[in-house]
Structure 1
């Protein structure tokens, strides 16, 4: 299974917490889409060298729903023309609620379905107007409910984003938001702790004392509230931040976590092709100019065995099933496996990891600390353990 990610780098306004590449100017929108189409053509041969089919297409950003249907359709048509898209491909569009409100929002949903999208990802984040204002979101709570109603009338495969740990927010507000999603029969929920990224507006506001920093204790408590509520409602907690009803796990993101090839198209987009990582320039104008000249605006690196090992550990420990010990041994050898299990003992002793005959996985007690635990298993060339696999 492999996928294509399309980065649409436009937004109506800048969310305070966001550190993704985007622009609030639509001045170069048409030229940017033309460049995306050109990049899809130029990348085709290298992608098909490592993948026979495309099983998922994901439009992210930025705000992909800012584009008119005609532009989205052009991109999908170019993918179908140049890539072997499977008949049951998961085709997702990220949407902001303010693009799906009222009769125009209903018409947009209908048109999205007609041109081939079969999954929507809605950036709800919160149903509290104070939270949305703090984060500088473009929608309010009323728009969020309207978007949920319109989208569920046309799509049954919907994911929503939820942010917890917002300063001054109450656990009761979070609990109500979860109940709203359950009542709307939303089959997939991505729940993220509010993170203070470097050089964001949120970081500056906290530094000035205008907003309090997220509280670690509150973050952990709200994480457990999300997990317990959704599990009781029948959702699988299949990845640290992701909850899905059976058969509604994100196929696109699951391919990332499983180490499958994927192609990233657009400014700042990343690709993973046969142990080679590529990333495009994060500048809309330079991206467009390069592709007008039929040049690929990207940098690449060959991942070392140590890079692959560390990514494997990081992604697998975020998954509910954890690290397959047989797959780990096949890829990295018996010596590395022995080191892994030795290092795991301290986490097993405090019940933050669980070990079976087949898997090493994060326990419920260790979930909130998963990334830190995984980083403790990282190896580098100075260890010498993987040198024979290089």
Structure 2
């Protein structure tokens, strides 16, 4: 069986090399599109609109009073406690033990207060919740009584209806703890339908470089952890993987073959295979200069094609460029919702974000040069804000008609945008001439370069375009979003500023500024 699988991997790699040789990539860099390992203005993938770095401090009380939910929404809850700081991780996380762990009871109490605040608003508006995603951090790593307490409380308090999914994130180490079996039984009783485990790689050198091999953590442990989840009775298990992790002693193809073999043996219901992205504050990014060897663009593209070929050959459906499932029914609800500007998502907990009219907003977070220290400050600030006013909304961005149109394209292209959807968006944003020009220019250039195509009434990626799907999606960010993100990062250039000023001037000529004025009041 292993020998046969190795042959399948080798064939997938051979086909990828042949395909890459036949793809004309000369036009791609001329459009300013390259496969890099830098983050996309605050995210490892284009999965929210706007990107997180575009958010600014807002008058949160005014926004809170203006929020209007749809009838059905989805919910996310952030639990920031984790066993170890991975070098690639930019999220708000702290330790689960020691002084960091002492914050767990206070944090759970703050979450309950925030849940209660939102439950009141949802009930007032007759809105109901259809799914809950509990992420972090590693929620499964906190004590059983705390995890049961917050999930039970949330289910009792929020107005749930037709609950389609409850997902909880875990890690290999947390899944192999002595009490894990009991925790999994508890989660099943509470109706959890999906577990998501961060594996990243089954390669020992990669685990060691990510700082995940302490206390004897091995690839065999990761395999046992995945099998534990698959045998738990929870029907949907997602495994997170990362391609293009820094190279040490093993060649990237050897490591890739090892990872693909393990996935073929385990066959989880769902696999998410991210490209490595580095935010400036992560350990990897700080070490990159001269000390961390990353794969080349050609190696990265070959890896992605090999993954596609192999996953399809062993029976997985390619849902998007980085997501694979044994059947489409295993696609997770949360990913579909957060990758949309037309479906409401309510985020609770430190750094959690939401998109609900009239905008996209985020709870308090801290971004500096030290993830752990920033996270500690953010958690303390979050608990204080919730004690004082019941919520912790701090940052936001107005989703005006032109931004909704931009978001529909930036996020929708991964699935394809139908003519009907585009027409509806353009009708809603009929006065957004400035952004319409961007759509026409970008679409024409990308179709001419063979990266987008119109097929069966949909604008969608070609196979070549899907290799650069996140980089292409980011091209549909509005000049306002690009300017705001670079301004916050301190990376503004004269060209970005000029493009934004031209865009803003065109908007004024379109006489839409007054009609689009949002209820947000920026503080800076």
TM over 0.5: yes
Q: Which has the larger radius of gyration?
A: 2
Tell me if structure 2 keeps the 8 A contact 1:352–1:363: yes
In structure 2, how many angstroms separate the alpha carbons of the residues matched to 1:375 and 1:267? 26
| Aligned position for 1:215 | 296
The correspondence for 2:265, drawn from 173, 183, 188, is 183
| Aligned position for 1:304 | 400
The correspondence for 2:206, drawn from 112, 127, 131, is 131
CA gap of 1:316–1:48, structure 2 versus 1, over 3 A, is farther
The correspondence for 1:161, drawn from 231, 235, 240, is 240
How many residues are aligned here? 387
Deviation at 1:49, TM superposition (A): 6.3
Instruction: Give the RMSD, CA atoms, in angstroms.
Output: 2.4
Tell me if structure 2 keeps the 8 A contact 1:325–1:337: no
| Aligned position for 2:421 | 327
Give the number of the structure with larger relative contact order, counting CA–CA contacts within 8 Å between residues 6 or more apart: 2
The correspondence for 1:350, drawn from 435, 449, 462, is 449
| Aligned position for 2:222 | 144
CA gap of 1:97–1:210, structure 2 versus 1, over 3 A, is same
SS of residue in 1 equivalent to 2:354:
strand
Tell me if structure 1 keeps the 8 A contact 2:119–2:159: no
Does residue 339 of structure 2 align to residue 257 of structure 1? yes
SS of residue in 1 equivalent to 2:292:
coil
| Aligned position for 1:14 | 85
| Aligned position for 2:194 | 119
Does residue 356 of structure 2 align to residue 273 of structure 1? yes
In structure 2, how many angstroms separate the alpha carbons of the residues matched to 1:51 and 1:238? 33
SS of residue in 1 equivalent to 2:91:
coil
Does residue 100 of structure 2 align to residue 29 of structure 1? no
Greater alpha carbon shift after TM alignment, 174-183 vs 30-39: 174-183
SS of residue in 2 equivalent to 1:272:
strand
In structure 2, how many angstroms separate the alpha carbons of the residues matched to 1:4 and 1:122? 19
Tell me if structure 1 keeps the 8 A contact 2:202–2:259: yes
Does residue 287 of structure 2 align to residue 205 of structure 1? yes
1:336-365 Cα distance to aligned partner (Å, 9 max, x none):
668635532332223211102521011110
In structure 2, how many angstroms separate the alpha carbons of the residues matched to 1:339 and 1:297? 35
1:99-120 Cα distance to aligned partner (Å, 9 max, x none):
1126533333223222321110
| Aligned position for 1:74 | 149
Structure 1, unaligned stretches of length 5 or more? none
Deviation at 1:48, TM superposition (A): 5.0
CA gap of 1:27–1:236, structure 2 versus 1, over 3 A, is same
SS of residue in 2 equivalent to 1:19:
coil
Greater alpha carbon shift after TM alignment, 195-204 vs 170-179: 170-179
In structure 2, how many angstroms separate the alpha carbons of the residues matched to 1:314 and 1:353? 13
The correspondence for 2:462, drawn from 360, 363, 368, is 363
1:225-274 Cα distance to aligned partner (Å, 9 max, x none):
11121122232222232112221011111122233101111111111112
| Aligned position for 2:54 | none
Tell me if structure 2 keeps the 8 A contact 1:47–1:273: no
Tell me if structure 1 keeps the 8 A contact 2:111–2:348: yes
SS of residue in 1 equivalent to 2:294:
coil
SS of residue in 2 equivalent to 1:191:
strand
In structure 1, how many angstroms separate the alpha carbons of the residues matched to 2:260 and 2:126? 38
Does residue 74 of structure 2 align to residue 3 of structure 1? yes
Q: With structure 2 as the length reference, what TM-score do the two structures score? A: 0.69
In structure 2, how many angstroms separate the alpha carbons of the residues matched to 1:102 and 1:296? 34
Tell me if structure 2 keeps the 8 A contact 1:129–1:140: yes
In structure 2, how many angstroms separate the alpha carbons of the residues matched to 1:43 and 1:77? 16
The correspondence for 2:277, drawn from 184, 190, 195, is 195
| Aligned position for 2:52 | none
Tell me if structure 1 keeps the 8 A contact 2:78–2:137: yes
In structure 1, how many angstroms separate the alpha carbons of the residues matched to 2:476 and 2:360? 22
Deviation at 1:175, TM superposition (A): 2.9
In structure 2, how many angstroms separate the alpha carbons of the residues matched to 1:195 and 1:288? 30
Q: With structure 1 as the length reference, what TM-score do the two structures score? A: 0.91
Structure 2, unaligned stretches of length 5 or more? 1-71, 366-377, 480-502, 517-524
The correspondence for 1:95, drawn from 170, 178, 188, is 170
CA gap of 1:341–1:127, structure 2 versus 1, over 3 A, is same
In structure 1, how many angstroms separate the alpha carbons of the residues matched to 2:178 and 2:132? 27
| Aligned position for 1:286 | 381
